[in-house]
Amino acid sequence: MNNTPSVTVIGLGPMGQAMAGAFLDRGYDVTVWNRTPSRADALVERGAVRAPDVAQAVAANELVILSLTDYDAMYATLAPAEQVLSGRTLVNLSSDTPEKARAAALWARERGAVQLTGGVTVPPYEIGTPDSATFYSGPREVFELHRNALEVITGRTDYRGEDPGLAALMYQIGMVMFWTAMAGYWQAIALAEANGMSAADIVQHAVETAGSLPGFFSFYADRIEAGQHSGDVDRLAMGMASVEHVLHTNTDAGVDVTLPAAVAAVFRKGMDAGHAADSTSTLIRLLQTPVAAAR
Ligand code: NDP
C-alpha cells in the first residue's frame, strides 16, 4: 500500500508553481495541470506528473489545490471536470470577493465536492516557509483533515470559521490596505521624480514612514473598541489641512492627483458632516455610507 501523501495542483502561475514545488520538496506525489501546459515543464522535471487534461488531474487525488487568477477562471477550468468533482476537496487559493467564494462553495457542494477557501498572504518566494500564512474558511473538519498538507503551502494556517466567504474577506481586508499603500508609494516616487529625486533617494524615508504605521493601528484599534473618537490627539481639521498640503504639493509638481484628491475627498466628507474637532477615526463611520457605488 502506498502511504505517500498526494495532491493535485491546478493553476501554475507563480503561486501554483511555488505550491507544487513545496509539495515536491516535502515528498508528496504531485499531479499538476495548467491551461498553458509548458508552465508545468520545470515541475515535471522535478518529479511532478502532468495530467493530460483537467478531468484526469481532478480524478487523480482527493485533495485538489486551485491557484487561479480568480473564481471565473475556476469555473472555466473545472467545466470539463464536473463529472469527477464528487468526493473531492477543492482548496481554492484563487483570490476574489467573499460573495464569489460563497457562490463557488455552493457550486462545489452541488457537485458533491467540498470547498475550503484560502487567502494566501505571502508572495511566491515565501511559499513553503515556516512564517508564511494563509487564511482558511469552510467546513472545520475538512480543514483539520488536510491541515498537514495545508501547512506545506504556508507554515501557518489561520482558520476563520465555517463561512466560505470569511477567508476571502480577511484577504480583501489586507488587500485594501496593501494596494492603497502601494499606490501611495507609487505616488510618492512620482512626486519625488518630478522634483529630481529617484526611488533610491526616498526609499529609506518610505520604509521609515511605513514602519510608523503599526503603532497607529494598535493605538486607534484600542480607542475605536472603546468608542473613543475625540480630537484629543488628532483633529480632523488638522488632517484636512494636511491632506490638502499633500494634494497641492502634487498639483504643483504636475503629477496625477487622482489618489491625493480621493483622500482629500474622504476627509472633506468628515468636515462637511461637522466632525472638524473629532479624531480622523470618525471617518470610519462615514466610510460606511457610500456616496456612489464604484464598479
Ligand atoms: P496568475 O494570474 O499569474 O496565474 C494564475 C493561473 O490562472 C495561471 O496558471 C493561468 O493559466 C490561470 N488562468 C487564468 N485564467 C484562466 C482561465 N480562464 N482558464 C484557465 N486558467 C486560467 O496568478 P498567481 O499565480 O500570481 O496567483 C494565483 C492567485 O493567488 C491569484 O488569485 C492571486 O491574486 C493570488 N495571490 C497571488 C500572490 C502573488 O504574489 N502572486 C500573493 C497572494 C495571493 P495560464 O498559465 O494558462 O495563463
Q: Is 222 helix (H, G, I), strand (E, B) or coil?
A: helix
Structural domains of the chain, count: 2
Same domain, 154 and 193: no
**Domain range enclosing 211:** 170-287
Supply the pTM of this predicted model.
Answer: 0.91
- CATH code of the domain containing 129: 3.40.50.720
The domain boundary residue, chosen from 98, 133, 162:
162
Distance CA 224, CA 123 (A): 31
- Cβ atoms of residues 135 and 118 within 8 Å: yes
Nearest to 10 by CA among 80, 99, 109, 97: 80
Residues contacting residue 58 through CB under 8 Å, at least 6 positions apart: 8, 10, 64, 78, 81, 84, 85, 88
Does 294 reside within a domain? no
Same domain, 91 and 119: yes
Q: Is 8 exposed, middle or buried (0-12, 13-18, 19+ CB in 10 A)?
A: buried
Residue 137 and residue 189 in one domain: no
Question: Does a structural domain hold residue 180?
Answer: yes
Q: Which atom of ligand 1 is nearest to the CA of 72?
A: 18
Instruction: Compute the distance from residue 288 Cα to the ligand 1 centre, in Å.
Output: 31
Going from the Cα of 47 to the center of ligand 1, the distance in angstroms, rounded, reads 22
Q: Residues lining ligand 1, judged by CB closer than 6 Å? A: 11-16, 34-36, 39, 67-70, 73, 76-77, 93-95, 120, 123-124
Q: For residue 180, give the H/E element and its range.
A: helix 165-194
Between the CA of 10 and the centroid of ligand 1 the distance, in Å, is 10
Task: Mark whether 175 and 142 lie in a shared domain.
Answer: no
From ligand 1's centre to the CA of 66, what distance in Å?
9
Distance between Cα 15 and ligand 1 center (Å): 7
Instruction: Evaluate whether residue 241 is within a structural domain.
Output: yes
Cβ neighbour number for residue 144 with a 10 Å cutoff: 11
Q: Whose CA is nearest to atom 29 of ligand 1?
A: 94
Q: Are residues 180 and 247 in the same domain?
A: yes
> DSSP for 20-87?
HHHHHHTT-EEEEE-SSGGGGHHHHHTT-EE-SSHHHHHHH-SEEEE--SSHHHHHHHHGGGGGG-TT
**Alpha carbon of 13 to ligand 1 centroid (Å):** 5
Position 182 scores a pLDDT of 97
In the listed set 162, 196, 218, which residue is the last one of a domain according to the structure? 162
| Index of the ligand 1 atom closest to the CA of residue 68 | 7
Nearest protein CA to atom 17 of ligand 1, as residue:
73
Same domain, yes or no: 182 and 158: no
Residues 219 and 128 in one domain: no
Whether residue 47 lies inside any domain: the answer is: yes
Rounded CA-CA distance 261/267 in Å is: 10
Residue ending a domain, among 142, 162, 182, is 162
Q: Which residues contact 92 (CB under 8 A, 6 or more apart)?
A: 66, 71, 74, 101, 104, 115, 116, 117, 118
Query: How many residues in the chain?
Result: 295
- Is residue 34 within 8 Å of 11, Cβ to Cβ? yes
β-bridge partners, 278:
230
Residue 283 belongs to domain with CATH number: 1.10.1040.10
Q: What distance in angstroms lies between residue 203's CA and the mean position of ligand 1's atoms?
A: 29
Q: Which of 9, 10, 15 has most ligand 1 atoms within 8 Å of CB, for mutation? A: 15
Could you read off the pLDDT tens digit of each residue along the chain, which spans 295 residues?
578 999 999 999 999 999 999 999 999 999 999 999 999 999 999 999 999 999 999 999 999 999 999 999 999 999 999 999 999 999 999 999 999 999 999 999 999 999 999 999 999 999 999 999 999 999 999 999 999 999 999 999 999 999 999 999 999 999 999 999 999 999 999 999 999 999 999 999 999 999 999 999 999 999 999 999 999 999 999 999 999 999 999 999 999 999 999 999 999 999 999 999 999 999 999 999 876 555 5
* Measured distance CA(64)–CA(81) in Å, rounded: 12
Do residues 156 and 188 both lie within one domain? no
**Do the domain assignments include residue 1?**
no
Q: In terms of domains, do 144 and 209 share one?
A: no
Q: Is residue 295 part of a domain?
A: no
